[in-house]
Amino acid sequence: MKWLDRQSFLGINSDQALRDAVIGLAGLGGGGSHVVQQLAHVGVGNFVVLDDDSIDNTNLNRLIGGRHGDLPKESRPGTDKVEIARRVIVDINPAAKVYARSALWQVEADRLKGCDLIVGGLDSVRAKSELEGFSRRFLIPYLDMGMDVHALDDGYLIAGQVALSMPGCPCLRCMGIVRQEALDEEGRNYGAAGGKPQVVWPNGVLASTAVGLAVQILSPWLPNPISSTYLEYDGNSHTIKESTRFARIKNLPCPHYPSNETGDPSFDVRKVLDTPAPVQNVATAAIPAPSWWRRLFGWLAI
Ligand SMILES: [Zn+2]
């Protein structure tokens, strides 16, 4: 048997589809570290992992793949979180290709442009919004995860969400995950969103849910995959369900990302014209002219 045979129900050619997939992950903390581990297990073949942070002893309660030996010593800093992610992936699947860079995702944005799906494990609301905006511009599905702990009169509520933001469908603003008040609050705190309570099992539930949504997009598993959703997690009752707000808005158009704001604003056609044509490829591939070309220029007998 081959290593992915027990998931053959995902459909014919699912192994190939997952092996060819390129997944970008920005934020390799508690949630993101679960996601890379699971995507490696299901056979995703290509990863772009970006996070500028390194492990410290407060991460050991939840960072999948983090080891005591990775903690900072007097002689060296802690292991980069992206290096831990890379190690987890290739320990499971040595054939996987991993582009790991200890940097903010904005520094490596060009790498993300080529991804089939982007997963955000970012803490701050502004960071989520910026990464979603980038994904929308390049028409890439974006999966967002987040968890929080709220003080109640008689204890604490663990809550979280998983959102699949698909171009043309409701965005994180439509869903109410990105709200102006939250952005303003972060602005007053200079963008600080770290230090929030975090534990391993809610991150695992949210990440597993996100991976399920990713696999149903990437593989032929479901005939009608979910293209957009906002799922709310109640960690005290251990339930996940579609947000009631999302149920109201899911068929409405998103007013925040108009279609005329897609594409690469830095694209320069002169750079394309400067690039020599790949003569050999054209000669051997016998690429037919597109039909619109023949209709427009057929009278020239091209
Ligand atoms: Zn919207």
pLDDT top residue among 291 and 210? 210
Q: Would you say residue 152 has pLDDT above 80?
A: yes
Backbone φ and ψ for 147, nearest 5 degrees, come out as -135, 155
Phi-psi region of 59 (alpha: psi -120 to 50; beta: other; left: phi over 0): alpha
Contact (CB, 8 A) for 141 and 216: no
Specify the pLDDT at position 273. 64
Residues 6+ away with beta carbon under 8 Å from 30: 59, 62, 63, 121, 147, 198, 200, 203
**CA 129 to ligand 1 center in whole angstroms:** 11
Token pair belonging to 111: 């790498």
Contact (CB, 8 A) for 46 and 22: yes
Domains in the chain with CATH codes: 5-261 (3.40.50.720), 271-300 (no CATH)
**CA 246 to ligand 1 center in whole angstroms:** 11
**CA 180 to ligand 1 center in whole angstroms:** 13
Model confidence pLDDT, tens digit, residues 113-130: 999 999 999 989 999 999
Q: Would you say residue 278 has pLDDT above 90?
A: no
Q: Would you say residue 268 has pLDDT above 80?
A: no
Q: Per the confidence metrics, is the pTM higher than 0.85? A: yes
What residues pair up with 168 in beta bridges, in sequence order? none
CA 187 to chain centre: 24
**CA 165 to ligand 1 center in whole angstroms:** 9
Q: Does residue 105 sit in helix, strand or coil?
A: helix
Q: Which helix (H) or strand (E) holds 229?
A: strand 229-234
Of the candidates 127, 130, 165, the one whose C-alpha atom is nearest the C-alpha of residue 144 is 165
Specify the pLDDT at position 77. 96
Contact (CB, 8 A) for 156 and 178: no
Average pLDDT, the chain: 89
Q: Would you say residue 183 has pLDDT above 80?
A: yes
Backbone φ and ψ for 159, nearest 5 degrees, come out as -135, 160
**CA 118 to ligand 1 center in whole angstroms:** 18
**CA 173 to ligand 1 center in whole angstroms:** 5
Beta strands in 9-71 (DSSP E): 22-26, 46-50
